[in-house]
Amino acid sequence: MTSETGFDPQLFDRFPTAEARPQSEVDELERIWAAPKGWARLTVVNNNYIGLWYVATAFLFFLLAGLLALAVRTQLSLPLLGVLPQETYNQFFTMHGTVMMFLFAVPVMEALGVMLLPQMLAARDLPFPRLSAYAFWAYFVGGLSFFCSLFVGLAPDGGWFMYPPLTSTTYSPGINADFWLLGIGFIEISAIAGAIEILVGILKTRAPGMTLARMPLFAWAMLVFAAMILIAFPAVILATLLLEIERALNWPFFDATRGGDPMLWQHMFWFFGHPEVYIIFLPAAGLVSMMVASLSKTELVGYQLIVLALLGTGFISFGVWAHHMFATGMPTLSVGFFSAASMAVSIPAGIQVFSWIATLATGKPTFNTPTLFVIGGLVTFVMGGLTGVMVAMVPFDWQVHDTHFIVAHLHYVLIGGAVFPVFAAFYYWVGMTSSRPLSERLGKWAFWLMFAGMHITFLPMHLTGLMGMPRRVYTYLPGMQWEWTNLLSTVGAFVLAAGVAVFLLDLARNFRFTAEDDAGNTYGGGTLEWLPTGLYSTRSIPVVRSRQPLWDDPNICKDVEEGRYMLPFSATGLRETLITSPIRAEPQYLTIMMGPSVWPLLAAVFTAGFFLLMTVQAYIPAVICLPLATISILRWLWDTDRPAKQAEVDVGAGVILPTYVTGPSSHGWWAIICVLVVCFMIFVMAVFGYLFVYGIHPEYWTAPTGQWWAVPIVAGYGAAALLVLYGWRLLTREKSTLWSPTAAVLFASGFILAALVLDWFSWRAQGIDPELTSQGALSHAMLALEAQLVAIVLLMAGYLAARTSRGLVTRPRNTTFDVTCLFLLYTAAQGAATTLLLRFFPGGV
Amino acid sequence: MGTWKLLLGGFLAWTAHFFGVYAAASLFPGSAVARWLVLAITVAALAAVGWLFWHALGIVRAAGTDDLNRWLAWIAVAGATMAGISILYQSSPAFLI
Amino acid sequence: MFNGWPPPVLDPAGPYAGSISLLSWILFAMAAVVLLVVLVALYLALFGRRELQRKVGGKTAIWAGGVAFPLVVLTALLVYGLSLTNHLSDPIRGDEMRVRITGEMWWWRVAYLDAQGQEIILDANELHIPAGQPVVLELESADVIHSFWVPRLSGKLDMIPGRRNLMRIQANTPGTFGGQCAEYCGGPHALMGFTVIAHDPVQFTRLMEARLARAAIAVDATSAGARLFDTAGCSACHRIAGTDANGVAGPDLTHVGSRRTLGAGILPNNRGTLMGWIGNSQAIKPNNRMPPYTLLSSEQLMALASYLEAQR
């Protein structure tokens, strides 16, 4: 046997252990993991609660956006109706798209991840429980306030894609657009927080022995999902930031009259926007892959092929963004590349569809509610995929682009590929969190109404599009023959809504929340989430020997419950879980996890407050919120990164693990690398924007002078990097004084700040005005991005100094110290790259 | 060779190829230079994918490889194939348009 | 002007739309075949006999159905689609007839160009072309992104501020073809139509000559309508050749009397609709850029409308 970490895999054979374990250990676990009562319940961080609240909030947004859709369909049922006035209609369709994509589709997948993954991987919780709580509360507060803009008529009305210049101050002077830019930009940050949590959780907290080849497919899908979010979302974050700056400070990024280019927005938006579709589809596909096997009572056929398909989709979906832009007049050759990638990306989808069919054929599915939703979703998704192949053909897209044909296509893909699977998942997994399962009878009604309603709505809509009806029109004229298909679509929408209403009735009658006495494994699944659990998840963490441990080992539930596997107790008296290696899931160490806290909640409220108050131009309260949010985050972090009293513990059967590990194998290290990937992607997109706009309008650009300024600036950043490396070495030397490593970091921060200040003022002296040309706007934006990082560097350095003064920086290694150093190194590198780019391009040496 | 490089190598080659040909077409729009560059990038990417294919196939066939390594190498083989097909797709516009 | 049946995408009137229509039918056929294959496989998986189920349930079926079959279909489509894209994007030659169309919030500025690229005839919301020959359109935007689309003649192409996109259209025979703005441009985007009228080439030449000649003729400025056009403020935004009215913010009205439609393709053009439009266009097309003139009496509206009707 090969090992990844030096762990001897033969130790696994000691489990399940033979001796009986005392009940007092369970009482201890219950005490440690108990949820606060009353109002303090809001401070819980446990995934059983946060996950469910998260799912419920996402579902609430699904209902709200669905109501908007009903209003939209009513307005379009006949020509020249006045149900919704033009302004209201434009806000409604914008909000329908925005809320469905940003507040339902992505969050519901993250929510299901937070709810299901820890149990599926037999972890006690996700590795950063307070981060999940923060992500949830930020989303909850931010999302609801954003939605409320509708009630005061201030909702955005520029379409969910927000193309400038329609959304610039010239054509959208109100604060409606700012609600979108600040509200959505902020919710993206919450999505990224959730993605980091999920990615690290999947790679580092799996049950021992759960190798990559034994991972539940939902975990595989969520792994790809989280990685895709880290790559794709920075593009839209940067785009919203630039557009908001253009609106607030009048810097022309997208304004063609001053050398900007509106196409820059489209490239950035769709570089996020198309992967987004797969970001939604992949987790749903993962859910389907798991359900289809359980519901057919057989192993999934082609598990390995599906893993391949997930990975392939994750990559190739980044090569299709411009297929939303075939009608913009891009060069023909580039159009061809995107057409080809759009074709290639359907092969992984084909693999998954035929794997599911093969699994249904191999097993014996009964036609219960989740099975119906799975099969209905499959058929619907295939139809949407086929129209997707059609619109990947450039000339055909020139005709149907921006017509109702596309509206039909995208709803087939998203409802078939994500909504039906999510409803199947609601029925299938509800037993984990409710003391009663949902009703099969009502469920079937819900399915058939939703399925029929979906097809009555969207099948005729293809024809409406071919008949020439564009998208995003608030009405149409009589005599165009569009009445019949539109009326049919409206009827269908109400049938679909009736199906959702039946589901709500089912929830009201049967859903009863519980964390302990759940209804359990109604559909006979074989994966770990069906082990008996409490708030602490499983009593002991099993050694995984196959993909469906519950099917392959009939005793596993009993053994886990009786504590015959790893960590049947709390070894340190704190919340803890096993950290395992990413490939073979070999136990590496025990991590201490944070318990309930009000700080993530406060941090989320103040962050949301900052963004929303900025939107409504209440600048003073907004500026007050920012330090409050920062303090809350630092306060929550203050409790973390503290080694337990015991340096090593026995997690059962003589397996000894350390309780504090730093460096590249620690989960903190992985998380900061994820953050740096996000920062790097933002920088890459900014560089792309810089080069792209120069390529379109070089006449607005001039070659900078005084290029020698680059020498002291780069030297400053270089000195900072060297100091950081030196500080790192000092920390490992026990002989160095308490303060010397931190002092090196503080000096490094000073150098970084000095380099930035030098860069900014010498660049200002160039006279390239940010309000006059796109070069001015983009160069100043890149300096502003660096300034943001430097501000965080200063904050981190101050925090490190505070921890040093309290003696919290452990030796020879310390996670807080590592994280700070990595961030400083990255900031120095980006700063140097920025300086060189601005000064030497365009203009040459 | 690292597990992740093996697992993702084919698709990483695809990524390099995609952004390479996109950059080539953007830097030299409508010129023959773009087509030659696409050809060169395609040959290089296919060579990388081909090498990965044989390397991973060797692991799949090697006696004594443990289950997980063989499993991962199989995905690398299939991934290289999928990436190779996609790379061919990706280069076709340069010859058809 | 815009007729939804038969579906204009599938009812081409020229070669550019024609090849896309053929492609559409091929794609429908492809989609139908693939859907049928999937549904048959699914049916066999759920209800088929045991040995058929075993076939559908094997890895071979995944390779055949999920990899090999799509690969063949997709490769064929890709080759066909790219060749067609190439064919439809033939480089524009210098000697083709050119018209500049500028998208405005929420109407279309039309300028016929001479061989040197000078604007020689100005019009709005309507394009006259000779049948049987390609016409090159220079698509531009004055404000936000719009998209030019006349489905029976060609696919759509966006009008983007700061850029100029070129497209060809062609109608095989004389006729009238409706179009609409396809890119969401805010406010009354829904009510931004367009009309293309293809003429017999001889008639077309005659029409263009007449319009060129019209530009040189002075209009009688003494009629009640002409004076009102000046005093009520119309001339601040609209131009009529041969008069003092030379506003450029709104559509050129030199030939407004001959247009098929009013308000960018939303009303038939006659004296009654003209009066209604001038009196309160906001009730007809909310949020369009023309202010309502509710203070004008019906006599005054009548005078204005008959003056405009005469501008042909």
- How does the average pLDDT of chain B come out, rounded? 92
Distance, in Å, from the CA atom of A762 to the CA atom of A345, rounded to the nearest integer, reads 47
- Amino acid identity for residue A238 in this structure: L
Report CB contact under 8 Å: A472, C184.
Answer: yes
| pLDDT tens-digit map of C179-231 | 999 999 999 999 999 999 999 999 999 999 999 999 889 888 889 999 999 99
A262 with C162: Cβ contact below 8 A: yes
Q: Which residue in C has a C-alpha nearest to residue B92's C-alpha?
A: C79
Residue A326 token pair: 């075939």
Contacts of A265 (CB under 8 A, 6+ apart): A162, A163, A164, A239, A242, A243, A253, A254
A668-719 tens-digit pLDDT? 999 999 999 999 999 999 999 999 999 999 999 999 988 899 999 999 999 9
Write out pLDDT tens, residues B32-90. 899 999 999 999 999 999 999 999 999 999 877 788 999 999 999 999 999 999 999 99
**Using an 8 Å Cβ cutoff, are C141 and C161 in contact?**
yes
Chain B residue numbers with beta carbons less than 8 Å from the beta carbon of A1 are 66
Inspect the interface and report whether the beta carbons of B96 and A344 lie closer than 8 Å.
Answer: no
CB contact under 8 A, C82 and B97: yes
To the question of pTM greater than 0.90 for the whole model, the response is yes
**pLDDT confidence tier of residue A52, bands split at 50, 70 and 90:** very high
pLDDT, position C1: 63
Task: Please state, rounded to an integer, the average pLDDT across all residues of chain A.
Answer: 95
Supply the pLDDT for residue B1. Answer: 60
The per-residue pLDDT for A73 is 98
Neighbours of C, requiring at least 3 CB pairs below 8 Å, are: A, B
Nearest CA in chain C to B82: C67
* Residue contact A360–C42, C-beta within 8 A: yes
| Whether C190 and A302 lie within 8 Å, measured CB to CB | no
Contact C236, C291 (CB under 8 A): no
Residue of A nearest to C183 (CA): A402
Q: CB within 8 A of A398, min separation 6: which ones?
A: A326, A327, C20, C88, C154, C155, C156, C157
Which chain B residues touch C79 with a CB distance below 8 Å?
92, 96
pLDDT at A1: 52
Q: Which residue of C has its CA nearest to A337?
A: C82
What's the confidence (pLDDT) of residue B97? 79
Give residue-wise pLDDT tens across range A284-337: 999 999 999 999 999 999 999 999 999 999 999 999 999 999 999 998 899 999
d(CA C162, CA C145): 10
Residue A637 CB burial class (10 angstroms; 0-12, 13-18, ≥19): middle
Residue of C nearest to A264 (CA): C160
Q: In chain C, what residues touch B85 (CB-CB under 8 Å)?
A: 71
The predicted-structure confidence for A606-662, as pLDDT tens digits, reads as follows 999 999 999 988 999 999 999 999 999 999 999 999 888 899 999 999 999 999 999
Give pLDDT, residue A62. Answer: 98
Closest Cα to residue A399, out of A339, A341, A340, A326? Answer: A326
Angle, helices A369-392 vs A332-344, to 10°: value is 160
Both tokens assigned to A258? 């001053």
Chain A nearest C-alpha distance from B16 (Å): 11
Q: What type of residue is B26? A: S
Q: How far apart are CA A153 and CA A156, in angstroms?
A: 9
Contacts with A474 (C-beta within 8 Å, 6 or more apart), sequence order? A75, A84, A86, A89, A90, C188, C189, C190
Contacts of C266 in chain A (CB under 8 A): 477
Angle CA A413–A416–A421, to nearest 5: 130
Cα angle for residues A240, A244, A247 (degrees, 5° grid): 145
Mean pLDDT for the stretch of residues A107-126: 96
List of residues 6+ apart from A678 with CB closer than 8 A: A192, A230, A233, A234
Is C86's CB within 8 Å of B85's CB? Answer: no
Does the N-terminal peptide bond of residue C106 adopt cis geometry, omega within 30 degrees of 0?
yes
Dihedral sign (CA A373, A374, A375, A378): positive
Find the closest chain C residue to B81 by CA distance.
C67
Output the 3-class SS for C87-100: HHCCCCCCCCEEEE
DSSP A101: I
Is the per-residue pLDDT at A844 higher than 60? Answer: no
Distance from CA of B48 to the nearest CA of A (A): 17
Distance CA A164, CA A268 (A): 12
Say whether pLDDT at A520 is over 90: no
Low-confidence ranges of chain C (pLDDT < 70): 1
Asked if A401 and C182 come within 8 Å (Cβ–Cβ), the reply is yes
Tens digit of each residue's pLDDT (9 = 90 or more) over A145-191: 999 999 999 999 999 999 999 999 999 999 999 999 998 888 898 99
8 Å CB contact of B85 and C71 = yes
* pLDDT at res. C94: 80
pLDDT for the residue C150: 97
Query: d(Cα C89, Cα C102) in Å, to the nearest integer?
Result: 21
Are A308 and B69 inside 8 Å of each other by CB? no
Q: How far is B1 from chain C (nearest CA, A)?
A: 28
Partners of residue C76 in chain B, C-beta under 8 Å: none
Q: Mark yes or no for CB contact B96/C71 under 8 Å.
A: no
B85 min Cα distance to partner chain A (Å): 8
- C263 contacts C277 by C-beta, under 8 angstroms: yes
Min distance A352 CA to chain C CA atoms (Å) = 7
CB-based contact A85:C286 (threshold 8 Å): yes
> Would you state the pLDDT for residue A19?
86
List CB contacts (< 8 A) between C86 and chain B: 96-97
Q: For residues A237 and A223, what is the distance between their CA atoms, to the nearest angstrom?
A: 21
Q: How far apart are CA C239 and CA A666, in angstroms?
A: 73
**Contact yes or no for A337 and B21 at CB 8 A:** yes
Residue C86: closest CA among chain B residues belongs to which residue? Answer: B97
**pLDDT at position A845 over 50:** no
Q: Predicted confidence band at B31 (pLDDT cuts at 50, 70, 90)? A: confident
Question: Do the Cβ atoms of A398 and C155 come within 8 Å?
Answer: yes
Alpha-carbon distances, residue A66 vs A252, A498, A835 (angstroms):
36, 11, 48
Which token pair is A580? 């395992």
Q: Please say whether the dihedral angle defined by the alpha carbons of residues A636, A536, A57 and A187, taken in this order, is positive or negative.
A: positive
Determine the Cα–Cα distance for residues C112 and C96; give it in Å rounded to an integer.
12
Cβ partners under 8 Å of residue A336, min gap 6:
A394, B92, B93, B94, B96, B97, C82, C85
Say if residue A2's pLDDT is above 80: no
